């Protein structure tokens, strides 16, 4: 019994390592909903890939100040 239990635990651990995360908001919306149709059309026609992330590393700036945040947003808009 112990050998069978160890084999089952090993299979369970192997199965847990093979799980893929695939989360979509549409899983929680009914298929007859207008929002579901919107998400499908948005994914079909406007799926352009990943978004761009900008990293800023400057120890002389105070990122919590409003003025610096406005400058960063203005820089990002250009």
User: pLDDT (tens digit, 0 to 9) for every residue of the chain, 78 residues total?
Assistant: 999 999 999 999 999 999 988 777 778 888 888 888 888 888 888 877 666 676 777 788 888 889 888 888 888 776
Distance in angstroms (rounded) separating the CA atoms of residues 45 and 52: 19
Instruction: Return the closest-CA partner of residue 54 out of 31, 74, 28, 29.
Output: 74
Domain edges within the chain: 8-77
How big is the chain by its Cα radius of gyration, in Å? 24
- Position 62 scores a pLDDT of 84
- Position 16 scores a pLDDT of 94
Following DSSP, what letter does each residue of 50-71 receive, concatenated? PPP------TTS-TTSHHHHHH
């Amino acid at each position: 019994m112990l050998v069978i239990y160890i084999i089952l635990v090993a299979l369970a651990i192997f199965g847990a390592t093979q799980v893929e995360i695939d989360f979509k908001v549409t899983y929680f919306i009914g298929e007859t909903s207008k929002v579901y149709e919107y998400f499908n059309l948005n994914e079909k026609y406007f799926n352009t890939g990943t978004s761009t992330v900008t990293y800023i590393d400057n120890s002389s700036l105070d990122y919590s100040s409003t003025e610096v945040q406005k400058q960063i947003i203005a820089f990002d808009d250009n």
